[in-house]
């Protein structure tokens, strides 16, 4: 009798976990607030820039962007749990306010720590999805489903390679790419191209040291590359 009860329950739990993962992976997210013991409810400050985060299923990399970006390599380690393997953050200064955006982003950057388990929960009421990620120290980041503009949707159709790259990195998109920025893992901006307005760009990576770099397109889409 116990076996008969357990098997349907296991199927229900498995189906729920699968649905949670699919909602997490297939949705672009917009940060709404940060919560902790010291900040019971800190709403995201007004900002001119990208507030759209996504999970890259191919590389298992969660990119959280609020003007700057947090790159978190994760491994799913249980039902509604992922473990962070490492993280890196870009560190540009937001020039249009008195430091509120930079302060808010610093909280997002410090939220993730390597080798730590985080719980997540996706709620879908049929008209809107929300995501909550919680840390072991009772901090939370809250998201809602991002409504992407036409340009944002076009940027989801980009490609790049080779990766790892030794000499020339090629980036292609279905619409024009106007800006490319490359950061090292310390968050330092090491390369920038503006006003390109091209659907295909080649970037000479031969002069850079071997390692991992963060690439941002049009202040919107972000990804990691490895330099051999």
Residue 170 vs residue 221, higher pLDDT = 170
pLDDT attached to residue 148:
60
Do residues 140 and 164 both lie within one domain?
no
Do residues 83 and 125 both lie within one domain?
yes
Do residues 134 and 193 both lie within one domain?
no
Tell me: the pLDDT tens digits for 48-105? Answer: 777 788 887 655 788 888 988 898 988 887 788 999 998 889 888 888 888 999 999 9
The answer to the question of residue 15 being in a domain is no
pTM of the model as a whole = 0.71
Tell me: the pLDDT tens digits for 161-217? Answer: 888 899 999 988 777 888 888 888 788 889 988 877 888 889 999 999 998 888 888
The number of CA neighbours under 13 Å toward the Cβ of 6 is 3
CB 157 within 8 A of CB 220: no
Domain count, the chain: 2
Domain span at residue 47?
A: 22-145
Do residues 136 and 177 both lie within one domain?
no
Q: To the nearest 10°, report the CA torsion of 93, 132, 44, 27.
A: 70
* Residue finishing a domain among 145, 168, 184: 145
User: What is the CATH classification number for the domain harbouring 165?
Assistant: 2.60.40.3080
Do residues 98 and 207 both lie within one domain?
no
- Intra-chain end-to-end CA distance of the chain, in Å: 58
The answer to the question of residue 16 being in a domain is no
Residue 155 vs residue 7, higher pLDDT = 155
Do residues 141 and 164 both lie within one domain?
no
pLDDT attached to residue 196:
77
The answer to the question of residue 17 being in a domain is no
Do residues 34 and 118 both lie within one domain?
yes
Do residues 141 and 33 both lie within one domain?
yes
* Residue finishing a domain among 117, 145, 173: 145
Please say whether the dihedral angle defined by the alpha carbons of residues 191, 73, 113 and 211, taken in this order, is positive or negative. negative
149: pLDDT strictly greater than 80: no
CA distances to 58, 130, 169, 184, 189 from 89, in Å: 20, 24, 22, 9, 11
Do residues 27 and 122 both lie within one domain?
yes
The answer to the question of residue 176 being in a domain is yes
User: What is the CATH classification number for the domain harbouring 30?
Assistant: 2.40.128.270
Residue 121 vs residue 178, higher pLDDT = 121
The answer to the question of residue 1 being in a domain is no
Do residues 135 and 186 both lie within one domain?
no
pLDDT attached to residue 6:
41
144: pLDDT strictly greater than 90: yes
pLDDT attached to residue 5:
42
pLDDT attached to residue 12:
37
Residue 108 vs residue 93, higher pLDDT = 108
Do residues 125 and 189 both lie within one domain?
no
* Residue finishing a domain among 99, 123, 145: 145
pLDDT attached to residue 19:
53
The answer to which of 7-11, 17-21, 41-45, 198-202 has the lowest mean pLDDT is 7-11
Do residues 124 and 164 both lie within one domain?
no
């Amino acid at each position: 009798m116990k076996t008969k009860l357990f098997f349907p329950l296991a199927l229900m739990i498995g189906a729920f976990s699968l649905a949670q993962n699919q909602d997490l992976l297939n949705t672009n997210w917009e940060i709404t607030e940060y919560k902790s013991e010291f900040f019971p409810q800190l709403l995201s400050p007004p900002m001119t820039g990208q507030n759209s985060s996504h999970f890259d299923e191919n590389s298992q990399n969660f990119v959280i962007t609020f003007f700057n970006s947090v790159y978190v390599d994760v491994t799913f380690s249980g039902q509604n749990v992922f473990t962070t393997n490492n993280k890196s953050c870009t560190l540009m200064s937001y020039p249009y306010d008195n430091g509120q955006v930079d302060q808010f982003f610093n909280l997002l950057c410090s939220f993730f720590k390597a080798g730590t388990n985080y719980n997540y929960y996706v709620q879908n009421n049929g008209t809107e999805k929300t995501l909550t990620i919680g840390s072991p120290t009772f901090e939370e980041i809250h998201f809602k489903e991002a409504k992407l503009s036409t340009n944002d949707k076009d940027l989801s159709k980009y490609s790049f390679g080779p990766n790892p790259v030794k000499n020339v990195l090629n980036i292609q998109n279905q619409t024009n790419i106007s800006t490319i920025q490359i950061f090292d893992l310390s968050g330092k901006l090491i390369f920038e191209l503006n006003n390109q307005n091209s659907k295909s760009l080649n970037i000479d990576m031969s002069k850079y040291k071997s390692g991992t770099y963060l690439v941002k397109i049009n202040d919107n889409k972000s990804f990691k590359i490895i330099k051999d």
